[in-house]
Amino acid sequence: MRITPLDIQQKQFPIKFRGFDVEEVYAFLEVIREEMEDLLRENASLKEQIHRAEQQLQEYRDMENTLRETLMTAQQMVEDFKNNARKEADLIIREAELKADAMIKEAQEKVIKIHEDIVDLKGIRRHFKEELKRLIESHLMMLDFDETREEEAKEAEQESPIVTSEKEETYEEPEEFYLSPPFKEEDDEREVQDD
């Protein structure tokens, strides 16, 4: 049976002969009651403090769990970000390498094409030089032929001053000269070195 301060205050003792002093007994009980009330109040206060401390401790535990989960989530996000960044970097590098290879290949093809064009142009130039040389030589021969005929005619006139009949001079036209179409040289490498 639990005793309360009220039980102590209301407790009645029977009076017997040669018993304790009633006033002193009740005074002592009053002291005990007051002390017990103080102890009960202190106990209640301590229980309240313990309850608040337990609540705060639970809040701290919840915060700790939340922080732990947040930290784990952040670590996972960082790891995922690193992996994604690594994959993206690898992809960018691969695309850059492919693009660079394509550009190099295109440049090499252009160099080859330019080289071929140079060879063709050198062949055409040499062909026209040869044709022009032949054309000039042909005209020089025609000029020499005309000069020779003029000299021969002058000599004939000097030898025969009296001309009984006029001879018609025949003039043969030189064969018509055609430029042959340009051709591509077989030996491309030597043509590149030409001039």
Between CA 147 and CA 167 the distance in angstroms is 19
Distance CA 192, CA 195 (A): 8
Closest C-alpha to 152, from 167, 165, 139, 173: 167
Q: Which two tokens stand for residue 9?
A: 């205050």
| pTM for the model | 0.38
Residue 72: both structure tokens together:
């784990």
172-193 pLDDT tens trace: 555 544 444 444 444 444 444 5
Q: Residue 8 in contact with residue 31, Cβ under 8 Å? A: no
- Which tens digit of pLDDT belongs to each residue from 74-120? 999 999 999 999 999 999 999 999 999 999 999 999 999 999 999 99
Cα–Cα distance, 176 to 70 (Å, whole number): 99
For residue 16, pLDDT over 70 is answered with no
Q: Does residue 147 carry a pLDDT above 80? A: no
pLDDT at 149: 79
Question: What is the reported pLDDT for 3?
Answer: 67
* Lookup: tokens for 83: 């992996």
